[in-house]
């Protein structure tokens, strides 16, 4: 059985069919990710009606300029919900720069503090911002707040910086892409107790579905690739990543 540790379920079309295919492909649990207040509300409702779906609450760095006092109060309230298992998706994105750096940093910092307050892990998005990300995590004593670098795309040296802080590393469909040799090398070296798998649905569909809308059932292709590069069986990889997700999110 597999766990998709990061899927934007409320962004998917024909969701009932998607969820049925996930179950048919041995996806036993899904962590449904929120990007703002409206998606948090939708995600929590979805989780309330499906015992194998778990919710998060957070504001994506693309929308960091929305993270005002009112929004933070909302996130704080949502974090108390029994089906909310993490804070996020939050982080820094210096590639698209949809919000200014200082705005992103302030929003991200507030998310870390929410994680500490509610004893919830933080789900982190980072793109072209690793230096600032590591500095902030150290400054905010993030080693005291568990979390995961979702959709990791860096090399092993970058991964070590997050591993040293106690963070998990999650791999998406990108690891299946032909030109992702460096990423697969990182996936081979990362300790077994710190590795997760995800789809980031509806984005980044893995080979052989690249270019199509992604969905949780496709997480098996990520698992296949990781099992191959780590020279273990699919079942062993599934067990490792399932145990890690259950440990991190307490699900």
Give the per-residue SS3 of 28-78: EEEEECCCCHHHHHHHHHHHHCCCCEEEEECCCHHHHHHCCHHHHHHHHHH
Torsion of CA 54, 148, 222, 85, to 10 degrees: -10
Q: What is the pLDDT of residue 118?
A: 97
The pLDDT of residue 143 is 84
pLDDT at 172: 98
- Of 187, 148, 197, give the one whose Cα is nearest residue 26: 197
Q: Output the pLDDT for position 187.
A: 98
Quote the CA–CA distance of 85 and 5 in Å, as a whole number: 11
Cis peptide before 217 (omega within 30 of 0): no
Among residues 147, 114, 101, the alpha carbon closest in space to that of 249 is found at: 147
Chunked mean pLDDT (size 10), the chain, 251 residues: 98 98 98 98 98 98 97 98 98 96 98 97 98 97 93 98 97 98 98 98 98 98 98 98 98 97
- Could you give the 3-state DSSP secondary structure of residue 87? strand
What domains can you pick out in the chain, each with its CATH number? 2-249 (3.20.20.140)
């Amino acid at each position: 059985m597999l766990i998709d540790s990061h899927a934007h379920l409320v962004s998917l079309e024909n969701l009932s069919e998607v969820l049925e295919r996930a179950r048919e492909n041995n996806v036993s649990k899904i962590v449904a990710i929120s990007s703002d207040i409206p998606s948090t509300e939708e995600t929590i409702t979805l989780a309330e009606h499906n015992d194998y779906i778990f919710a998060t609450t957070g504001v994506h760095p693309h929308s960091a300029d929305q993270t005002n006092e009112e929004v933070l109060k909302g996130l704080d309230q949502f974090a108390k919900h029994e089906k909310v298992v993490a804070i996020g998706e939050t982080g820094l994105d210096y590639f698209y720069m949809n919000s200014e750096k200082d705005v992103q940093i302030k929003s991200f910092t507030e998310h870390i503090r929410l994680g500490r307050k509610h004893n919830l892990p933080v789900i982190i998005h980072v793109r072209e911002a690793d230096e600032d990300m590591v500095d902030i995590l150290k400054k905010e004593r993030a080693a005291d707040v568990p979390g995961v670098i979702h959709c990791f795309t860096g090399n092993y040296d970058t991964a070590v910086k997050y591993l040293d802080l106690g963070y998990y590393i999650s791999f998406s469909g990108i690891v299946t892409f032909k030109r992702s040799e460096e990423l697969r090398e990182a996936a081979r070296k990362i300790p077994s107790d710190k590795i997760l798998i995800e789809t980031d649905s509806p984005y980044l569909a893995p080979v052989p579905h690249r270019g199509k809308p992604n969905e949780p059932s496709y997480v098996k292709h990520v698992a296949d690739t990781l099992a191959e590069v780590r020279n273990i069986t699919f079942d062993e990889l599934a067990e490792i990543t399932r145990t890690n997700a259950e440990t991190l999110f307490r699900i």
